Amino acid sequence: MKKYFFIIFIFWGNVLAQNLPYTILVSLDGFRWDYVDRGITPNIDKLIESGVKASSLRSSFPTKTFPNHQSIITGMYPENHGIIANTFVDLVNNAWYKISDTSETRKSKWYLGEAFWETAERHGIKTGSYFWPGSEITYHERRASHSNRYDHNKPYRQRIDELMGWFQLPQQERPRFSTLYFHDTDSYGHTYGPNSKEINQSISRVDSLIGYLQTSLKKIGIADSTNIIVLSDHGMTELSNKRIVFLDKIIDTEKNQIIDSGPFAFINTNDETEKVYNKLKIHQKNYTVYKKENVPSYYHFSEHPYIPELVLIADMGWSIVKDSLSSNWYLTDAKGNHGYDNHHLDMHGLFVASGPSFKNGYKTGTLWNIDIYPLLCKIYSIFPRANIDGKLERIEFILKD
């Protein structure tokens, strides 16, 4: 009798799996919302014609890679999911989170949100992650069933080919939800700027990958049952070495702890918050300084204990740098950057979706990246976590009725 029920369970599990759509969440890092208006993205244009296009995708503050990939996949603001920047410090435990330190970024303790692949797996849905910032947690129960450790130099088409291999596994092993990540437009945007011929070449290159992905899905016979969501974590803006704020000309940068630089800076003041704040306020030009508790509510950036005492946000295109005497990237090589006010259009990303779950030829206004997690839950008819910041009602209208 037990054997009989086990066979029935496996049978219905396979039937249910076959009725679920595939969904591939593709991140084009640093792909600004208006890059598709340059007439060099024919493959993304085809997705737009058959699916949904938002005028832009609003990132969360700060508009950096790791915080926003976590916001997309957890439905939470950085102050709630815990990855408040690409670099930050836990003063209590004297521990640093730096994206260059994979031994640290793989520790589960930093990630307070539940990624969609965790939610889906709890509901019995197999998932895969072919690269996604924050997907390499060492605690295996929090990872997707299929995953790869990040390899920056892994050829782009090989990533797609290996994903196709997952889709040809036995039904009960195939990931129904998967992620893909490509860094190209971010790298070229930083190095050459968002208005360069080099970034246009990068845009064309990643667009060809979307075409290759579609062709690959057709070859294995699942194109019609696959949702493709192409998005980006943030945008990009032009920089100039003439637009730099040097903190050492305003405060004692050796006495105070300066965390990060560029579009924003964090400062721990060693119990001299009022004194340092007043100095920065007096000299406030081309940046805005806030005490942690006074960061405007629209940034959603004041609640987490890792957020330092003072938060400085540079004006668009300006850079905040610790030291005026040392040579640094902002003085020599920087052509483009992100991390600024998430409401500014230059910091907005792309959102395009096409497939059996989405409306056809539908265009909408700006969507919020924290709403993508509940959207994915809706596609798979599963319950989202109760503590998310995302709201389904702001985005579910892009799905077919």
Q: Is-catalytic flag, 179?
A: no
Residues 6+ away with beta carbon under 8 Å from 343: 58, 298
Residue in 131, 203, 186, 200 with CA at minimum distance from that of residue 338: 186
The residue assigned the tokens 């004041």 is: 302
> In this structure, what token pair is assigned to residue 353?
């979706």
Distance CA 251, CA 87 (A): 22
| Residue count (the chain) | 401
What is the DSSP secondary structure assignment for residue 304, as one 8-state letter? S
Q: Give me the helices (H) in 309-391, please.
A: 329-332, 372-379
- List the one residue out of 147, 311, 348, 261 whose CA is nearest residue 303: 311
H helices of 91-225, in order, are 102-105, 116-122, 156-167, 184-192, 197-219
Q: Spell out the domains of the chain, with CATH numbers in brackets.
A: 22-238+345-398 (3.40.720.10), 244-334 (3.30.1360.180)
Q: Read off φ and ψ for residue 89, nearest 5 degrees.
A: -130, 140
- pLDDT tens, the chain, 401 aa long: 444 443 433 444 444 455 899 999 999 999 999 999 999 999 999 999 999 999 999 999 999 999 999 999 999 999 999 999 999 999 999 999 999 999 999 999 999 999 999 999 999 999 999 999 999 999 889 999 999 889 999 999 999 999 999 999 999 999 999 999 999 999 999 999 999 999 999 999 999 999 999 999 999 999 999 999 999 999 999 999 999 999 999 999 999 999 999 999 999 998 899 999 999 999 999 999 999 999 999 999 999 999 999 999 999 999 999 998 777 888 888 899 999 999 999 999 999 999 999 999 999 999 999 999 999 999 999 999 999 999 999 999 999 99
Measure CA 215 to chain center.
Answer: 26
**What pLDDT was estimated at residue 140?**
87
Helix (H) or strand (E) holding 22: strand 22-28
pLDDT at 18: 59
Q: Which two tokens stand for residue 383?
A: 């319950």
> Which string of b and e fits 114-132 if b means at least 16 CB within 10 Å?
bbbbbbbbeeebbbbbbbb
Computed over its alpha carbons, how large is the radius of gyration of the chain?
A: 22
Give me the amino acid identity at 230. Answer: V
First-to-last CA distance in the chain?
A: 42
Catalytic residue, chosen from 65, 74, 185, 269, is 65
pTM of the complete model: 0.94
CA distance 266 to 255: 14
User: Residue 1 is which amino acid?
Assistant: M
